[in-house]
Structure 1
Amino acid sequence: MTDILESNNPLSTASSTEKTSSRTKAKNPAFVIMCRELKSYFSSPIAYIVTGLFTLASGFLFFNTFFLANRAELRQFFGLLPVLFSFFIPALSMRSFAEEKKSTSLETLLTLPVTVFDVVAGKFLAVFISGLVLLIPSLFYVLTCFIFGSPDAGPILGGYLGSIFLTAGFSAIGIFASSTTKNQIIAFFEAFAICIILTLLSNFAVFLPAFLVRTVTYLSSLSHFESICRGIIDSRDIVYFVSLTVIFFALTVRSVKNGQK
């Protein structure tokens, strides 16, 4: 009887509606999409294959220095990390939009009460977190360094901080490339091309006229990453990576919106 009275009570009904509404608002669409993407990624063998290959490649770089050069440091690991990420981050991101565009499930997703910004944010966060997961096994290298040597903690902390910014920037590039095509392979090579060009740009600056060297060096992600890895926190390096992430994030939003037309 009490339940019936409560169900007929307008105040009770209004209160129930407010609770339902608050629960709905509490579930951020971007967060829901991120969780869905992560669950889909880590339930497939691709996640473990990519992580395994990255661990093998990075482990070779570290132990090559550790055993052959007899140095307990992570300099070579961080030095070549942008090149590794130029390959592995696009491998993580290539399916984010391309797969859904091919199966037309992206169109269905966009008919739900979510914005394009929410969709892009959710997918970006999923790729970003997946990229950070790749770094977890490398903590073993840090432990090894401190057990068998006395490395400077500053460059190591700087290296991981730079790795976070680098992951964010390359993740934004990866989802942008994936949003421009229905083919995952094309998305991979498009993202790889952009990432590797940005990484190696400073290496070709010596072949350019003097007035272009400074500009080209600034556009290179490697020069900014190396600066942070030295333990030097310069606002110009932070601005570069934040700008890189924001620009390609915005381009992805625009690409997805244009795809709806």
Structure 2
Amino acid sequence: MTWTVFRRELSAYFATPLAFVFIIIFLFVQGVFTFYVGSFFERGQADLQSFFSFHPWLYLFFIPAISMRLWAEERKAGTIELLMTLPVTLFSAVLGKFLAAWAFTAIALALTFPLWLTVNYLGSPDNGVILASYIGSLLMAGGYLAIGSCISAMTRSQVIAFVVSVVVCFLFTVSGLPLVLDLFTGWAPQALIDTIASFSFLTHFNSVVQGVIDARDIVFTVTLIAFWLVVNAVVIEFVKGT
């Protein structure tokens, strides 16, 4: 049942030229940030840190652009009721839509492989770290997508879904930065400060980019995705009953 929804949603992405336009823009922006903002050649190091270091910030806008249509479009067109009448469970529909969006993101990310080839041509990078960074980036994208999917279910407006998703994902991104943690330093217990920092995508992703693969980072992302998908299902159930 999940597979049926997955195929339906993934094929819908490529039914119009918008998917190809999105991928082209995504790859172009990634290249600009890697080679110009990240000073890829000037750094003189055979790695892709200048590529991966911008992913949290790029995903902050690109991922909500993907997720905003997942449920808002269904609600606006009135097809959500039709979807729920199909022989699929509610959570299968939620999971199928999410996995289709995640697969589309994976395709866009996989198309950046020329950068990997380039860095191997120019030097001898640690390909294990690069592979781990790709996996970490895809997991992080899944976290953003789960949040965006849930918020998309709360409104009929794709614009509102996009804006709110950006705001919520931004809070999850910056929660581990000193700018935020300093607001709690001095009056809040250290356990609370550590908890707030642990919700940051940056906290978990930066360690992966540095080559430190911690099971806690994977558990955090998987748990985050599961939580938002469950809430997504609850929201759809509520909307369906109103």
- Output the TM-score relative to the length of structure 1: 0.85
> Which residue among 204, 229, 232 is the counterpart of 2:209?
229
Q: Secondary structure at the match of 2:22?
A: helix
- Distance across 2 between alignment mates of 1:168 and 1:135: 12
SS in 1 for 2:175: helix
Q: Find the counterpart in structure 2 of residue 25 from structure 1.
A: none
**What is the CA distance between 1:157 and its match in structure 2?**
1.6
Instruction: Please identify runs of 4+ aligned residues in structure 1 that moved more than 4 A.
Output: none
Partners of 1:234 and 1:177 in 2: how far apart? 29
Letter in 1 for 2:144: F
Q: Does the aligned pair in 1 maintain the 2:98–2:146 contact within 8 Å?
A: yes
Deviations 1:3-33 (A, max 9, x none): xxxxxxxxxxxxxxxxxxxxxxxxxx21111
Identical residues among aligned pairs (%): 36
2:178 paired with 1:206: no
The amino acid that maps onto 1:205 is: L
The letter of the residue matching 2:84 is L
Q: In the aligned structure 2, how far is the partner of 1:114 from the partner of 1:124?
A: 15
Q: Which residue of 1 aligns with 2:110?
A: 136
Instruction: Answer 1 or 2: which has greater helix percent.
Output: 1
SS of residue paired to 2:129: helix
Matched, 1:56 2:28: yes
Unaligned runs of 5+ in 2: none
RMSD across aligned C-alpha pairs, in angstroms? 1.4
Is 2:40–2:50's contact at 8 Å kept on the other side of the alignment? no
Letter of the 1:224 partner, please give it: H
Read off the aligned partner of 1:209 and give its amino acid letter: T
8 Å CA contact retained: 2:151, 2:165: yes
Superposition deviation, residue 48 in structure 1? 1.5
Distance 1:36 1:122 in 2: 9
Query: For 2:70 and 2:232, how far apart are their aligned partners in 1?
Result: 11
My pick for the range that moved more, 39-48 or 182-191, is 39-48
Structure-to-structure mapping, 1:209-220, within 5 angstroms: 209=185, 211=190, 212-220=192-200
Alignment of 1:152-167 (within 5 A): 152-167=126-141
Aligned to 2:46: 72
Which structure has the greater CA radius of gyration?
Answer: 1
Structure 1 segment 86-165 matched on structure 2, within 5 A: 86-165=60-139
- Asked if the contact 1:161/1:228 (under 8 Å) is kept, the reply is no
Relative contact order higher in (CA < 8 Å, ≥ 6 apart):
2
Out of 14, 17, 22, the position equivalent to 1:45 is 17
Whichever residue aligns with residue 157 of structure 2, its letter is N
- Asked if 2 retains the 8 angstrom alpha-carbon contact of 1:206 and 1:213, the reply is no
CA distance in 2, matches of 1:84, 1:134: 13
5+ residue gaps, structure 1, are: 1-28
Q: Offset at 1:109? A: 1.4
Q: Distance in 2 between matches of 1:113 and 1:138?
A: 38
TM-score, with length taken from structure 2: 0.91
1:22 counterpart residue number = none
Size of the aligned set, in residue pairs, is 233
* Contact kept? 1:158, 1:230, Cα under 8 Å: no
